[in-house]
Amino acid sequence: MNNKSKRFPPEFRDRAARMVLEEEKNHPSRWSAVMMIAPKLDISS
């Protein structure tokens, strides 16, 4: 496990992943969904 993955607890990462997968339905790519969700979680994409 690298340092980046230790920054956030597993619950936070799970929530973020669920949010991206849900938002992905409304965007042409997963990356564009990440770009929309990241600011909501106060993290950088």
- 1-45 tens-digit pLDDT: 555 557 899 999 999 999 999 999 999 999 999 999 999 999 987
Q: Which domain holds residue 12?
A: 8-40
Whether the Cβ atoms of residue 22 and residue 30 lie closer than 8 Å to each other: no
Q: Who's near 12: CB < 8 A, 6+ residues apart?
A: 41
**Is residue 2 in a domain?**
no
pLDDT value of position 34: 95
Rounded distance between C-alpha atoms, residue 45 and residue 38, angstroms = 5
pLDDT value of position 1: 53
Whether the Cβ atoms of residue 14 and residue 20 lie closer than 8 Å to each other: no
**Is residue 25 in a domain?**
yes
H or E element, residue 37: helix 30-40
Number of domains observed in the structure of the chain = 1
pLDDT value of position 4: 58
**Is residue 17 in a domain?**
yes
**Is residue 45 in a domain?**
no
pLDDT value of position 6: 74
3-state secondary structure at position 43:
coil
pLDDT value of position 44: 87
